[in-house]
Structure 1
């Protein structure tokens, strides 16, 4: 069956070893990081790829590496991570672990008939593109996207699990990991300790793009949509906190938990302010939904939504009758359309560098 999904692209803001007060990475860039992660995952059983102990880190979802594939020609990686979940929001999938550490194919919860240890969850797909310093999440109906979990998994593995023979790891009494080069690399003879960091943010178009510049000239109103709880006092700042004070007519007496609300305000934001609003929306919402921010223009009166400035693509993949999409099949489909997917990123990166539209 053909499964439809979408790709959201992320800028990699940080990846590598950093010294305090220095913004340039001193090693372990995107390609190096994921080469290390692939080697580490390939040498371990599936259930040993969760970087943190779930008993002592209950605030973190369990995250395992199902498979990491690298394409030799492009240098791209595709990661299929497994987010451990037990909620009932959609079907759960199980991966059974054999006594020798190998795993069976993922199956739906309703199909389980095995006494083998089973790890319940859903797949998460990430396409890592060192050439353009980007990561794309791939979301299907039966998969998850959790960018915070992905970043924590990468950092957790690199800091605490992955062997780095070319470096020296030092763990402080508070549990922080500092990484040193084995040889002296500084003129003053000191060996500086570095911190491994991995940070990314959803990619939106640059301020120099004609579409954004044209919007800034014609905005008359800003629209903000939110889902507001009326069951408990809302602690958020601003108008949402006051919503509970007002009676809402024509609503069901049975529905007393939340309301979808929309606020429209006259405004004339600058280009930089519009970009800030768009970036903030992207940081808070990595999937389409009711909660959104929009701009009304004087040209047509139509609403231009912040999400339309996110760089994203659609994808369709045959699941081949399997419970989850096979990673090799997915990677093959991505690579077939790679040029089309990354050309807007390359164009926008060039635009950001020059500040002019082409």
Structure 2
């Protein structure tokens, strides 16, 4: 691939353009808002000048509802040898493209499983896709050349290709991406009118659950409008679980011991099912999640503190598998949880204590 055209210079389009430009591909940028393409060009993502002829690959990075018309229009103008989109829904746009008379042989629907809470070209990074799954949904009609161009794009972006059926992809992302977004927003919405005293008690749990609730509503309306059925089915199942959980909690208020026992059993059931489901989430390098042990350390909110604790752990010969930080409310300090292999925890604890760190049990 020597040349590419990125149509749509938001977070995903600009990030792909930055990755391609950084690896020697000449990238042309266009957007319905010329100022966004100019911003992306200023960031080093390519040029906002129109290509002089057909490019090798056109990357369509527009909302799902606009994918089909954008691809069809680009094909009519002969802008590229191959066309792919990076929208988060795959089945509907492909059927719409077919209905518009688009050339399915030169088109491939894809979806990089990466993103951020922020949007727009200024949020883009060249390493956004590194190590992340990038779904490809070829069909029997897809030309080999187009599939190879898509695989080259994924490789240049340092992502991991995953081949799926388009409709299976849409059901999967409804479960692992679209429903979590709505549930996060539903929990965060409870905070809108909450008493300030309650909000000041927010800890890491509520921060974890509501992190993605900061996402752009307009973007998510576009996504959910393109995949409403699968998301509604999952939310319906969640609603049934919620109803059962509410009944179980009400039973715990009862003076009847048998009802309280049944309520506790109902709560335990959903918690245990949650444990089982969480264990299926891939861990480090895609393997089954390991049972790490946490070494919790009090850390000041000053420059260099994180670097110092990581250096001290490195000198102790301990590999940090994961990190979590819980900031203290109203204080210039917090707790950092260093996740390590269980066998390494005692040695790390002793080494950090020797260096003067305050270990919390």
The TM-score by the shorter chain falls in which range? under 0.3
Given the two structures, how large is their TM-score scaled by the length of structure 1? 0.23
Larger Cα Rg: Structure 1 or Structure 2? Answer: 2
Given the two structures, how large is their TM-score scaled by the length of structure 2? 0.23
